[in-house]
A and B are shown apart, each in its own frame.
Chain A
Amino acid sequence: MNHMISDIEKIRADFPILATNVYGKPLVYLDNAATTQKPQVVIDTLSSYYSTMNANIHRGTHYLSIEATEAYEAARRNIAAFIKASSSSEIIFTRGTTESINLLADTFSRAFIKSGDEILVSEMEHHSNIVPWQLAAEKSGATVKVIPMNDLGELVLDNLDSLLTTKTRIVAVAHVSNALGTIHPIEEIIRKAHEKGIPVFIDGAQAIQHFSVDVQQLDCDFYAFSGHKMYAPMGIGVLYGKEKYLNQLPPYHGGGEMIKTVFFEKTIYNDLPFRFEAGTPNVSGVLGLDAAIQYMLETGMDKIEKIEENLYLYALAKLGEIDGIRFLSRAAHKTSVISFLIGTIHPYDAGTLIDHFGVAIRTGHHCAQPLMDRLKIPGTIRASLAIYNKPSEIDMLCEAIIKVKQMFL
């Protein structure tokens, strides 16, 4: 543990915001599933880009434009390598997971989904992996069907075979539940879907920051994630797709960059991945994401997993000692997200007060209302951990909870 704490202290020094005080108390930031803080190297990348390299890319013949283009495309190659994609042209830059899913749902449904078809999601999805599919279903006349969950907070795959019908066109599930932290058995879902020739999209927004992801080994057909939840800037995300599918999808946004030739009679669209990147991209965001990934790799994905697992187990044990705490997931496979309630205290009340003790946690339905309906609760209190969190911060959360309990006695 001591060895671990010195590792964490070293990591913490890389994140300037962690020295902040809130309400006169040192910040305890446990809302990492909402967004993570940024290491200095990411912040410096943004500043250095605008101080030394800023130019529009893929267009110019001048020095800066060439340099910026090279850096942007090098980042794409690094990100492809990070998730083990077979080619960098399978990496499409978006604003974040939400835009990735909207892009996919819109273009995939235009290419492959017709009236009477089915789209399969799960009961534990974030709204952003439900609503874009509903929109696509509305336009095409398809139906959205749901993989159910059990009381432990796990997906139930017993009836998956019958949910995967001859009408199912795509399966869209999260890798990790944002509200409960459950790691879903996506390998099994992908295998079963593929047996019937159905492609699978994985929402990796809550997975990629916690453990290594190998899209080829998973064999998923699409995978999405956000930079800002993995120590990178806001406003940048990725949609990975197998080339064989991406090549069949129509364009999403029209504009510059996504075309080869434009005549008023007909436009010839550009090749992958540029066909899906209309307009001037978020170059600084891409470079920031690249820097964040380098930071994670230098820290070591195994080490990240180990640090977070140790802290997660510590948090679970400490919180479990508090009378009246009710954990909302007992799933066997989890990441470092802990969703709980304190007795009968409304999560909004608890969150409002815990905040005043300097502890940032999230309360509410976590954009997963169908899941909250299933659990018959208005929301949860969610503490979510990152590599820079330390045991003493868990202790401060526990102290805050005990004080909140006293206020409601």
Chain B
Amino acid sequence: MNTIDKIGDQIIEEFSQFEDWMDKYNYLIELGKSLPIIDEKFRTESNLINGCQSKVWLSADYNDGKVIFKADSDAIITKGLVSVLIRALSNQSPDEIIMNELSFLDQTGLKAHLSPTRSNGLLSMIKQMKLYAMAFKIKNS
């Protein structure tokens, strides 16, 4: 089992302990609040992923074969979801990021937030993360 799936399993387990939706959202809000606020210098137009309703800023670095993501959002629930994605995808190899289908999101009940009708910018964020991984892979091959 690769690392992203392992982390995914942990996330599924964490979310499975919540019986009602309010607890789940409370946890997301908590995650959102605890994700370090991105440095102002990363909050640039070029790092901005514009959802229809909430904004997401994403930056990526490449270090020792791993892609390091940093991200932020102006909405707390979106930020909580961003932190879940960062936890799974940051510090992984480009190949793992490109190949992984993030199936754990199905089992956490978070998938609804990623449908194209949800206008929070998260779907675009995942696409952007994969594009970064691809770019680092090409650059370093």
A356-B21, A378-B74, A408-B76 known; A348 and B29 CB under 8 Å?
no
Is B130's beta carbon under 8 Å from chain A? Answer: no
- Knowing A347-B53, A348-B54, A348-B120, say if A407 contacts B25 (CB, 8 Å): yes
Instruction: Convert A354-378 into 0s and 1s, putting 1 for each residue whose CB lies closer than 8 angstroms to a CB of B.
Output: 0010000001110000000000001
| B37 contacts the other chain (CB 8 A) | no
* From A349, A363, A364, A378, contact of B76 by CB (8 A): A349
State how many residues of chain A have any CB contact under 8 Å with chain B: 17
Q: Is there a chain B Cβ closer than 8 Å to A272's Cβ?
A: no
Could you tell me if A349 and B52 are in contact, using CB atoms closer than 8 angstroms?
no
Contact of A348 among B21, B26, B75 (CB under 8 A): B75
Contact B53 A378 (CB under 8 A): yes
| B76 contact set on A, CB distance < 8 A | 345-346, 349, 408
Q: B78: CB under 8 A from chain A?
A: yes
Is A352 interfacial (CB-CB < 8 Å)?
A: yes
Give Cα distance in the complex from A351 to B119, angstroms. 12
A407 pairs with B54, CB closer than 8 A = no
B49, CB-defined interface residue at 8 Å: no
Chain B residues with CB under 8 A of A348: 53-54, 75, 77-78, 120
Residue A353 is within 8 A (CB to CB) of chain B in the complex:
yes
Q: Nearest Cβ distance between residue A34 and chain B, in whole angstroms?
A: 13
User: In the bound complex, how far is the Cα of B22 from the Cα of A356, in angstroms?
Assistant: 9
B55 CB–A CB distance under 8 Å: yes
Q: How far is the CB of A161 from chain B (nearest CB, A)?
A: 38
Q: Mark B71-96, 1 if CB is under 8 A from A, else 0.
A: 00011111000000000000000000
Closest B residue to A351 by beta carbon equals: B53
Contact between B52 and A364, CB atoms less than 8 A apart = yes
Check A408–B29 contact: CB distance below 8 A. Answer: yes
Q: Please report the C-alpha to C-alpha distance between residue A347 and residue B53 in the assembled complex, in whole angstroms.
A: 8
Q: How many Å from the CB of A332 to the closest CB on chain B?
A: 30
Residue A181 at the chain B interface, CB threshold 8 Å: no
Knowing A346-B74, A348-B75 are in contact, say whether A363-B53 is a contact too (CB < 8 A): yes
Kindly list chain A residues whose C-beta atoms are within 8 Å of the C-beta of B22. 356, 407
CB distance from A167 to the nearest CB of B (A): 34
Seed contacts A364-B53, A378-B74; 20 additional CB < 8 Å A-B pairs: A346-B54, A346-B75, A346-B76, A346-B78, A348-B54, A348-B75, A348-B78, A348-B120, A349-B76, A349-B78, A352-B25, A353-B77, A356-B21, A365-B53, A378-B54, A407-B22, A407-B26, A407-B29, A408-B29, A408-B76
* Residues of chain A whose beta carbon lies under 8 Å from any beta carbon of chain B: 23, 345-349, 351-353, 356, 363-365, 378-379, 407-408
6 A-B pairs in the complex with CB atoms less than 8 angstroms apart: A345-B76, A348-B53, A348-B54, A348-B78, A365-B53, A407-B26
10 smallest CB-CB distances across A and B, nearest first, come from A346-B75, A348-B75, A348-B53, A348-B54, A364-B53, A349-B77, A349-B75, A349-B76, A356-B21, A352-B77
